[in-house]
Amino acid sequence: MNEKVLHIAHPVMFRNRPVLYLFFVALIALYGLGLLLLLIWWINCYRTTLIVTEQRTTLRTGILAKATNDVMHNDVRNVQVKQGILQRLLGVGWIGVSSAGQSGVELQMFGLRDPQGFMKLLDQYRELGMWRTTTNENKSVTNREYVKQTCG
């Protein structure tokens, strides 16, 4: 089944931890060690991907060996966003998604750009119920088609 990809995100480096970033940059000038540390940090950010489609949210980690964790939107029971003062100013934060099938947070990502926007996007697709079907005038249609028909 083809799903439309709505959002793809990787953790950000500078906005998430600006003091650590500047410290590593200073280490480049002093010892050259900072370049190695920045490279490791960048690889760690690059290997983590959060993908939101119309039906699911997926967290993928790894480059050579990969781990994938999916949560269907109709199974999401809680979305958490945490931001410190500096993170709020810089527009990043932590996001956690809990599903009905797990007792704790199933997907989590640190350093996500615009976590409030991500939460709104996820809530929008949870509310629309795009994964379900409904009956409209004795015709089975998806909720997406129903919204198009009723809202124009």
Residue 102 confidence class, pLDDT cut points 50, 70, 90: confident
> Within a 13 Å sphere around the CA of 10, how many CA atoms are in the beta-carbon half?
13
Residue 56's nearest CA partner among 145, 141, 147, 131 is 131
The per-residue pLDDT for 140 is: 42
Average pLDDT over all residues of the chain: 82
125-138 average pLDDT score? 53
| % of residues, the chain, pLDDT over 90 | 45
CA distance 76 to 38: 35
Q: What is the CATH number of the domain that holds 146?
A: 2.30.29
User: Domain residues for 133?
Assistant: 5-151
The per-residue pLDDT for 146 is: 42
Q: How many domains are contained in the chain?
A: 1
DSSP codes of every residue in 45-73: HHTEEEEEESSEEEEEE-SSS-EEEEEEG
pLDDT tens profile 56-77 = 999 999 988 899 999 988 888 8
